[in-house]
Amino acid sequence: MESYLNDNFGVKSKHTSDEALQRWRDLCGVVKNPKRRFRFTANLPKRNEAAAMRRNNQEKLRVAVLVSKAAFQFILGITPGEYVVPKEVKAAGFNIDADELGSIVEGHELKKLKFHGGVSGIAEKLCTSTEMGLTTNDDFMNRREEIFGINRFVESEPKGFLVFVWEALQDMTLMILAVCAIVSLFVGLAIEGWPDGARDGLGIVASILLVVFVTATSDYRQSLQFKDLDKEKKKIAIQVTRNGYRQKMSIYDLVPGDIVHLSIGDQVPADGLFVSGFSVVIDESSLTGESEPVMVNSDNPFLLSGTKVQDGSCKMIVTTVGMRTQWGKLMATLSEQGDDETPLQIGLFFALVTFAVLVQKMLGRKWQESTFLSWSGADALEILEHFAIAVTIVVVAVPEGLPLAVTLSLAFAMKKMMNDKALVRHLAACETMGSATTICSDKTGTLTTNHMTVVKSCICMNVQEFSHAGDASKLRSEIPESTIKVLLQSIFNNTGGEVVVNKEGKQEILGTPTEAALLQFALSLGGDFQGERNTCKVVKVEPFNSTKKRMGVVLELPEGGLRAHSKGASEIILAGCDKMINSTGEIVPLDEASLNHLTATIEQFASEALRTLCLGYIELENGFSPDDSIPLSGHTCIGIVGIKDPVRPGVKESVALCRSAGVVVRMVTGDNINTAKAIARECGILTDDGIAIEGPDFREKKLEELNELIPKIQVMARSSPLDKHTLVKHLRTTFGEVVAVTGDGTNDAPALHEADIGLAMGIAGTEVAKESADVIILDDNFSTIVTVAKWGRSVYINIQKFVQFQLTVNIVALLVNFTSACLTGSAPLTAVQLLWVNMIMDTLGALALATEPPNDELMKRQPNILGQSLYQFLVIWFLQSKGKAIFRLTGSDSDLILNTLIFNSFVFCQVFNEINSRDMEKIDVLEGIWNNHVFVAVLGCTVFFQILIIEYFGAFANTTPLSCCQWFFSIFLGFLGMPIAVVLKKIKVDP
């Protein structure tokens, strides 16, 4: 089906174009209720309208930015008009208002910025410090929020319950039935008077209201679930300095004057100004439409909300928040929720034929009775009843519950996955993950714990092991002081982390786990982070790059001269070294024996599943320009460290579970190949017939070689983001695999986008990676990925269960009324009874079967719909033809009792069939039934209301109370479906 949709309509599981979706919608043009159908899918007209508004906003901002930039060179001699601080702003204690701040950043007004004293002047006027951040005083913060606003966007008002009631009433067939009920009511009152004449009409009205109420309740609960999940998606935290302390806080708590720390992959949370930083490159395409990245520095200090940090790191001061920002205005225009359609299928045909047969039988009877030309109100009521039955057949025949079951199952899975630490960003990812055949997983933080410690080092050619945290301090006495000094200078300056003092006055390490491990190692050696950072002046920073596998910093030394430190993948840094520090602290040439020793040390560390890093430096004796790159060769090797990152508990079992389910797990990592192989073997990923390959070797392979190699690849080490993207693309296009990919870095975005399911890491992942992903793994755990796959498969299973159950009811209800109309001239199931059956089948059935939790067993067979349908049809037809004789029914009410018996038996067939549908393979369908409270509640309600309908609401539902014997017989006929289901499950059905 998926390939058919893709080939003929271009409909894919991900990234389908609007044109392709429109072609599919045009095909599925006739619907019962367009307000309800696929409520949570994209509304294409609204999406196009929002896109047009977005383009308009982008063009306005792009023109404003480009014009302002072009005008800067002409306005150097022009002095801005005198700025007057509004009285209310002055009274609140500030010297600049929100509109002035907004115009400076949004308009890139360098002249205005200079007029206000630059960034430091803006900070002073906002009563903040670029070093210590805001001082949080409740009264002062309240005044700040009143003057400048809060960092939140206007959201559309949630729909109330009555809106869902109104939408449920938009069903075309229910509206026709309502008209029938009103006409029946008036005609009945005119003929029979009150209350007898009102029973049929009021019965249909009551049934319609019950269906509408249950439908609206179900839809309303779904909307609340999606609203809760939407809130989770918007939870973004960022590093902020307040009261002199670095702390993590929600972007929605930011106010103008806050000092925010940005790094690669972060989304700029509000409009602001650059304070300090290095190599900051911003992607403004989301706002301006310009694909060219923008360099941000003291000459161009403007940072716009919603843009992404592509490279570098910096501090920024927040100036404008919430709806005052251009991003806030843009977000207000975007709305993607909408409606979808689905065809009516065959129900209309059965309805028309049934109506025609019933009317023909009535006309034949009147012709025989010679009353063809004499028509009364009773005749009109009979035709109206036939029409109501025909319309109700359409209600029953159309699988309205199918999209409801799909949405319910997806919503239920999303909610449960949230409890299992997986946040689904795109609804379709739930079901796509169920068909995943390959998982390409990162190593660090996903298969491992991401809690890193330095456990081995090779400094001055001396290999040391540290079994405890304090053991590193002993190293200080074993290597020269000059080497210690260079080592601490390298670690403390060439880092993306920081050592700060928290509110409790204790040291706290901020940064990635790798950086934290190195900083902790340096602190154990007796290093002083702030003292070392204050000693040297940073000239240039080259942040870690997953392509280059290295990072570097250029320092101006206190005694004069420039020195560049580099750190990264051991073999890459070592390849750029031609000198080393020996055991006496002297710098000597790196000879072949020493190189072999260091290479063997790297391999030894890696074979023990340690992540290895090499540190080196170079004296820049010929000077250095910040525009130059740090040299890649001529370095002096300081040493090598081995960092332990233990495998997560349960990963090996999860990998084994994936393999048994037919899902291949591949490790794609930037780490050393020996480290990757050791971890892969420990996890059970790398087997004897599998291949481990390095990214550079993979890149050099020809297409024919790749086609032969890729199915065998289980580990790819030293891979670049492009290698991951290439692997994923080949797996999807050449081998037809359904690929799930994990990623955490900004550069992983293309692979996440290319994959069928992109899985971003919630802890280590950047905002750019999360935005490109379909599912966010909140605990960064591989076992959670397997849980997502399990839930995805459960969605398929639940929908298949529901389809089996619903089609059984559809087929029997259609055939019973159709054949009975043809042979006897009457329909045993009335409109009210069919509406009750429809509610059992659609809303209640979807609610019961779509909320079954997953298990570890996978489906192996297709469902057998025909067997149950045939049994139920034969039971109903047997009662129709032989029921009066079996139960010795005579008298004027015999037809009413028989039809009640048929209706009751039919409903209990569905009750037991619903239990059968819990599992389409297992014989024991009662196992775990009490654990599913929704299923038990739905089943209990169905039986309870069925008793009420039969015993007490006969006047409205055209039923009459049954005897104990008749009740037992009805329930027994329904129960017989269970042993029949056991027999059917033993029959092998080819997929």
Which residues are catalytically annotated? Answer: 442
Residue 933, number of CB atoms within 10 A of its CB: 9
206 vs 201: CA distance, rounded Å = 9
Angle, helices 865-886/977-986, rounded to nearest 10 degrees: 150
Residue (of 220, 223, 226) closest to 168 by Cα position? 220
Backbone angles phi, psi at 223, to 5 degrees: -65, -35
Separation CA 778–CA 751 (nearest Å):
19
Tokens representing residue 810 in the block: 């559809």
- Residue of 912, 904, 901, 918 whose CA lies nearest to 977: 912
Q: What is the SS3 assignment for 573?
A: helix
Query: In the numeric block, which tokens belong to residue 304?
Result: 């716009």
Tokens of 194: 């009150």
Q: Residue 314's CB: how many other CB atoms inside 10 A?
A: 23
- For the chain, the first-to-last Cα distance in angstroms comes to 14
Which burial class, exposed, middle or buried, applies to 4 when counting CB atoms under 10 A from its CB (0-12, 13-18, 19+)? exposed
Nearest partner of 573 among 543, 555, 598, 540, judged by Cα = 598
Q: Token pair 């609960």 is at which residue? A: 221
Rounded Cα–Cα distance for residues 679 and 715 (Å): 10
- Secondary structure of 755-780 as H, E, C letters: CCEEEEECCCCCHHHHHHCCEEECCC
Q: Which residue has the tokens 């490790």?
A: 667
Residue 633 tokens, joined = 């060769």
Residue 331 CA to residue 617 CA, distance in Å, equals 47
Q: Which residues pair with 499 in a beta bridge?
A: 509
Exposed/middle/buried for residue 91 (C-beta within 10 Å: 0-12, 13-18, 19+): exposed
Rounded distance, CA 849 to CA 82, Å? Answer: 70
Residues comprising the chain, all counted: 991
